[in-house]
Amino acid sequence: MRIVVNHLTRMQPGYICVAGIDPETGAHIRPVLWGRLPAALLARYGGPFDIAALVDLASVTQAGEPPEVEDRRFDRQRAHRLTTLSAAEFWRQLQRAAKPSLSDIFGSALRQQGRACVTQPGMGSASLGCLLPASPPTLSLDAQGKPRMDVTDGVFTVNLSVTDLRLYQGDHVTPDEAVIAWVAERIQAGVGVILSVGLTRPYPADNPKHWLQVNNIHLADDPVWRLG
């Protein structure tokens, strides 16, 4: 199986989450291991994964349950990057995958909760997708210095955590304020944007829910901006 990577997100220090678009079917696929994905699988460390990378995962097996229907278990030793898509081709892949509403992506199980959106465990038709926002989203730092984004699709208006790995420094913990400001300025200047959005693994333990977040921000004038 091959994927074009369009989700590349921070997890706990030393670990990442990756997902991409199957170029043959347009479906989203999340490669998973029996444990967490180590950051060593990033291209910057010699691994296969980076934004716009076409990666051959070799053979995979179904591993997820609703809403995480995209999970596929793979062999990290066999996964390898074939090429990196051009900016134009990557943007076409994003456009093909993008939907105008969150309900189109996640189905009717998605519900608004305050300024967030959630799906109950075992429910929903997807946990990954691409959104065409109804109006330009706003990226900023919250009171704790974490990147968040105000997003609307015309029905849901939410304030979401942003886990785009490229917005963080090398420790994957400290936000890169200069990069965040650059992305925010590009959006407010009118540059087109497509958001890779996803649902978290369920938490907290006493009342678990899958929470909507922005996984990655893709800019029309520089869709393949990647880690240095």
Domains in the chain: boundaries: 2-219
pLDDT value for 193: 98
CB 224 within 8 A of CB 84: yes
Based on the number of CB atoms within 10 Å of its own CB, is 96 exposed (0-12), middle (13-18) or buried (19 or more)? exposed
Model confidence pLDDT, tens digit, residues 104-139: 999 999 999 999 999 999 999 999 999 999 999 999
**pLDDT (mean) for 14-23:** 97
Residues 6+ apart with CB under 8 A from 64: 30, 32, 70, 71, 72, 127
With 0.95 as the threshold, say if the pTM is over it. yes
Reference 2, options 65, 68, 48, 67; nearest CA is: 48
| Residue 225 in tokens | 């901006």
Model confidence pLDDT, tens digit, residues 136-194: 999 999 999 999 999 999 999 999 999 999 999 988 899 999 999 999 999 999 999 99
Indicate the pLDDT class of residue 19, thresholds 50, 70 and 90. Answer: very high
Q: In the chain, what percentage of residues exceed pLDDT 70?
A: 99
